[in-house]
Amino acid sequence: MGMTRREILKVLGAGAAAGALPAGLAAPALAQDKKRIAMVVKALGIGFFDACRDGGLEAAKELGNVELIYTGPTTTTAEAQIQVIDGLIAQRVDAIAISANDPNALVPVCKKALQRGIKVISFDSGVAPEGRIMHLNPSNNQLIGAKCVQMMAKTLKNEGEVAILSATAQATNQNIWIEEMKKEWAKPDYAKMKLVTTVYGDDLADKSYRETQGLLKAYPNLKGIIAPTSVGIVAAAKAVVDAGLVGKVYVSGLGLPSEMKGAVLAGATDTFAIWNPIDLGYSATMIAAALVAGKADGKPETSVKAGRMGDIKIGAGGDAAMADPFTFDKSNIEQFAKIF
């Protein structure tokens, strides 16, 4: 999922435009026919959500009849988000898209908003089903698992020994992603790319580093390490660099551009992925606008048009997956490392 030069310029320019306003404040009141969509994030001042804002501003500009209100609390608590939402209800906004600090604690205030005719969706971090129309996940388990295997296979040309460095052995999302990796791995295309073991760094940098050192010692023919954890992938890449194995062992998985820039430029990582927050904010705003306009109802087994992101299908329980995780490499790491 690459970005055109035009889209990149939009991304880099949107932050400067948004930064001209005090944090959490909307643009001045616009024409009456403008629909007001509030994006409520976990807390202000977080790079990931600032990038979501930029995507939301892009969508609002594209739609033309939407005013985006970017807001959130200063602390990542449900109580603080409840106050923000109560304020938006009093303002009678048309829609609220929220990344929840607590899925259940926000249900009563979100129900209140729904009862007042406000369209409520969640994105990134969900509100429980009874408190929203639908939830937009950045991706889904199958897409994440498949992407991790596909990236490593491309780097290794489908051949060589590979290990997985996970977080904790009990981590629900990590275990699901690993199972999805194994399903993808079972395809004939990967017959010469062998999974040798899975180890656990407990999402601790020092332990993940030591586990990687152990892998490099135990498997002298190891060619790749997949770490579906932002802590593990950084630690594994550092261990490869420190061992002088750049170009011989490659690290991939899920990480943040700002944290992975060094690994990519050093050559320890060819590609890695994470959901693109710009696309996420863009999609959430597009979906909220479609609900307000009556062009979608958010019901399971329907789809909603989300501009350049295409049609997004809504599955059981009102959950939708935006797209494949976004891939980062030397061609785009510099610009995205400045964003999140």
pLDDT-derived band at 30 (thresholds 50, 70, 90) equals very low
Decide if 72 contacts 97 (C-beta within 8 A): no
Is the pLDDT at 13 greater than 80? The verdict is no
pLDDT in tens, 98-157: 999 999 999 999 999 999 999 999 999 899 999 999 999 999 899 999 999 999 999 999
Q: Give the integer Cα–Cα distance in Å for 25 and 251.
A: 41
Question: Which has more confidence, 142 or 339?
Answer: 142
pLDDT in tens, 194-241: 999 999 999 899 999 999 999 999 999 999 999 999 999 999 999 999
What is the residue-wise DSSP string for 261-308?
A: HHHHHHTS-S-EEE--HHHHHHHHHHHHHHHHTTS----TT-EEE-GG
Q: What is the pLDDT of residue 33?
A: 80
Is the pLDDT at 11 greater than 80? The verdict is no
Sequence-separated (6 or more) residues with CB below 8 Å from residue 318: 129, 132, 133, 134, 135, 298, 299, 300
pLDDT in tens, 151-195: 999 999 999 999 999 998 888 889 999 999 999 999 999 999 999
Q: What is the pLDDT of residue 9?
A: 35
Is the pLDDT at 10 greater than 80? The verdict is no
Out of 21-25, 132-136, 188-192, 292-296, which region has the weakest mean confidence (pLDDT)? 21-25
Q: What is the pLDDT of residue 263?
A: 98
Sequence-separated (6 or more) residues with CB below 8 Å from residue 337: 257, 258, 260, 261
Q: What is the pLDDT of residue 5?
A: 35
pLDDT in tens, 50-87: 989 999 999 999 999 999 999 999 998 999 999 999 99
The answer to whether the pTM exceeds 0.85 is no
Q: What is the pLDDT of residue 220?
A: 98
For the chain, give percent helix, strand, coil, nearest 5: 45, 20, 35
What is the residue-wise DSSP string for 153-181?
A: HHHHTT-EEEEEEES-TT-HHHHHHHHHH
Angular region, 94: left φ>0, alpha ψ -120 to 50, beta rest: alpha
Q: Give the integer Cα–Cα distance in Å for 189 and 206.
A: 35
Using the 8-state DSSP alphabet, how is residue 128 labeled? P
Neighbours of 149 (CB within 10 A): 24
Sequence-separated (6 or more) residues with CB below 8 Å from residue 100: 42, 78, 81, 106, 122, 125, 126, 127
Percent of the chain with pLDDT over 70: 91
Q: What is the pLDDT of residue 19?
A: 34
Is the pLDDT at 6 greater than 90? The verdict is no
Domains of the chain: 5-139+276-337 (3.40.50.2300), 141-273 (3.40.50.2300)
- Residue 72's nearest CA partner among 123, 30, 130 is 123
Q: Give the integer Cα–Cα distance in Å for 308 and 47.
A: 23
pLDDT-derived band at 32 (thresholds 50, 70, 90) equals low
